[in-house]
Amino acid sequence: LSPTGAYENAPQPSADKSPIAIICGGGAFPGAVADAVNARGRPVYLFLLRGYADPALAHYPHEWVKLGSLATFVGSSRKRGIKEIVIIGSVVRPRLAQLGFDWKSALLLSRLARMFLGGDNSLLSGVAKIFEENGLSVRAPHEVAPEILMPVGLVTRLEPSTQEREDIEIGRRLLHAIDSFDVGQAVVIAGRRVVAIEGAEGTQGLLERVHAMRESGRLRLREREGVLVKLPKPSQDWRIDMPAIGNDTIRQAKAAGLAGIAVQAIGTLVPDAQKFVETAEAENIFVVALPPLDRTKA
Amino acid sequence: LSPTGAYENAPQPSADKSPIAIICGGGAFPGAVADAVNARGRPVYLFLLRGYADPALAHYPHEWVKLGSLATFVGSSRKRGIKEIVIIGSVVRPRLAQLGFDWKSALLLSRLARMFLGGDNSLLSGVAKIFEENGLSVRAPHEVAPEILMPVGLVTRLEPSTQEREDIEIGRRLLHAIDSFDVGQAVVIAGRRVVAIEGAEGTQGLLERVHAMRESGRLRLREREGVLVKLPKPSQDWRIDMPAIGNDTIRQAKAAGLAGIAVQAIGTLVPDAQKFVETAEAENIFVVALPPLDRTKA
């Protein structure tokens, strides 16, 4: 499933007027997808995940659902003539304060949440498979809302230095070297040194680690040094696991003392690319969108 | 500098009777090196790093020194006719309770400590260079004490399962893929999945992260699942930066819920290999010492 094709075909309004169901986790992505689909004249129907989805989305036709309610999604979609479903948004960190959960329940919820939507590719594929067995086709968010793809050429006025370009290149090569392993969408490079490589902890965990290592003196870097390089992998299922960044990423990168962020154009989801770049500029963080990978080349 | 040659030549008693200076950080390695050199009939002179070195080492000729006292090391060595110096032991985590430091000083100390001995290869090389400019030759710990090299063929009776052998192989291939980057001596693999890759945080940080991800439910693994794979890199300076493991590693792997540890024979330092394997067996952690890398092969 190549996102590039979808992107090129997307600006036309959709001919299909059947509603698209969107299972909405937290963050800005579900709203961005709903707005984009809606603007193209296609109706949406939202399954808002309790405890994650933004209540402001309730202005769209919706129902609130619990995580793991596969039966609800399938039954309700069938009733409404829905044939396509998109899964989008974060469910990793339950909003504890809002929900008033005790910690034990929260941990359990978090586990359930990750089983359902979190970074575990095989489980996500399993869920997608269950939907498809029930006549629902799982679509990639950017297939129905190409607006959320990081565009080619979008960058901050703030540019990487020669040294930082080298760091980006080291990060790109490192990620390329581990392409065939289902891990490591992101790295942090500083002063030609590989500082941290993402595993199961995710990009936020990666950036928090860099912050902690700076705080403890384990990492001795200048103020505003280092680059987050985050790229898609050929092995990823683009429908459910594409690299995503947003304003939170900028704030986490800032807190980690980094100078900038490099992502891949077209191969990265961002809720609002223009606002993302504006936020980055306000925070003195450069953003570089590398050209889409030519997959015919090594 | 190939450790294999040193290992093969080592069992003969040394002809050189000039003392070897050992700059001693924390942990069991400095004592293991001193004992081994001493047993071979070569005198030792210890520079015990205040706040790190084990006071029990004071039965050898020694002086207590502060970190960063390069002048002391050089002057005192010259006075004693010392021509060779070994740097060994951990200085990353100051013993706070013992020293009664306030946190701010401790952070500063930790930073100094890492500048001096911690994982920053270029700085360590710089220190080695300063010693050499002053007529002191920096020797690898295993050159003077080959007993601390993980021997070929040493393993626990507890063996890895077929699945775990696959995980070890994935880890080996991943580390090999990033060989040319100065990072990532260790990875944790579980159920064919790359769970965590070591960056600047070190092996202890890596294992603590795995533990934390299990606790939070971010990682859903069976009890006793996953393998730590820790291997040397061709780019490493064996004199100052060889992978080291010990009983602490076993305890950290156990706390992280892992099933076993794979290292490279000859290419890994261990204070007491026999005791290491016994501790592993007591903790139900398997240990595999992979054959030394044939560097002529890819």
Contact B182 A174 (CB under 8 A): no
| ipTM of this complex prediction, to 2 decimal places | 0.70
Check residue A235 and give its pLDDT: 67
Is residue B9 scored above 70 in pLDDT? no
Check residue A42 and give its pLDDT: 93
Check residue B91 and give its pLDDT: 65
The minimum CA-CA distance between A216 and chain B, rounded to whole Å, is: 6
Cα R_g (chain A), whole angstroms: 19
Query: In this predicted model, what pLDDT tens digit does every residue of B185-224 receive, in sequence order?
Result: 899 999 989 999 999 888 999 999 999 999 988 888 888 9
Q: Which two tokens stand for residue A233?
A: 């992998």
Is residue B241 scored above 80 in pLDDT? no
Virtual CA dihedral for A248, A253, A254, A256, nearest 10 degrees?
Answer: 130
CB contacts of B182 in chain A (<8 Å) are: 193-194
Check residue A105 and give its pLDDT: 42
What percent of chain A clears pLDDT 70, i.e. is strictly above it? 77
Query: In this predicted model, what pLDDT tens digit does every residue of A146-201 receive, in sequence order?
Result: 999 998 877 889 999 999 999 999 999 999 999 888 777 899 999 989 999 999 88
Residues listed for chain B: 298
- Give phi and psi for B262, each to the nearest 5: -120, 130
Best CA proximity match to A74, nearest among A125, A136, A17: A136
Tens-digit pLDDT string for chain A (298 aa): 344 444 444 445 556 778 999 989 888 899 999 999 999 999 999 999 888 899 999 999 999 987 656 667 788 898 999 999 998 887 654 433 333 344 444 444 444 344 444 344 445 566 677 778 888 898 988 999 999 999 887 788 999 999 999 999 999 999 999 988 877 789 999 998 999 999 988 899 999 999 999 998 888 888 899 999 999 887 666 776 788 899 999 999 999 999 999 999 988 999 899 899 999 999 999 999 998 865 444 3
Check residue B124 and give its pLDDT: 56
The minimum CA-CA distance between A69 and chain B, rounded to whole Å, is: 20
| Residues B189/B253, Cβ–Cβ less than 8 Å | no
Is the backbone of residue B76 left (phi > 0), alpha (psi -120 to 50) or beta?
Answer: alpha
Is residue B96 scored above 60 in pLDDT? no
Whole-model pTM? 0.76
Residues listed for chain A: 298
Contact A174 B174 (CB under 8 A): no
The minimum CA-CA distance between A110 and chain B, rounded to whole Å, is: 7
Check residue B216 and give its pLDDT: 86
Contact B177 A177 (CB under 8 A): yes
In the block, tokens 């090999």 appear at B176
Contact A174 B181 (CB under 8 A): yes
d(CA B172, CA B218): 24
* Nearest beta carbon to residue A200 from set B183, B196, B198: B196
d(CA A203, CA A237): 18
Contact B193 A200 (CB under 8 A): yes
The minimum CA-CA distance between A111 and chain B, rounded to whole Å, is: 5
Query: In this predicted model, what pLDDT tens digit does every residue of B100-141 receive, in sequence order?
Result: 434 444 444 444 344 444 344 445 566 677 778 888 898 988
What percent of chain B clears pLDDT 90, i.e. is strictly above it? 45
Q: Is B98 part of the contact surface with chain A (CB cutoff 8 Å)?
A: no
Is residue B15 scored above 70 in pLDDT? no
Higher pLDDT, B90 or B290: B290
CB contacts of B118 in chain A (<8 Å) are: 218
Check residue B154 and give its pLDDT: 73
Find the closest chain A residue to B218 by CA distance.
A111
What percent of chain B clears pLDDT 70, i.e. is strictly above it? 77
Q: Which helix (H) or strand (E) holds B285?
A: none
- Give phi and psi for B178, each to the nearest 5: -110, 20
* DSSP letter string, B225-236: --EEEE---TTS
d(CA B215, CA B220): 9
* Nearest beta carbon to residue A213 from set B174, B178, B201: B201
Check residue B282 and give its pLDDT: 96
d(CA A45, CA A19): 6
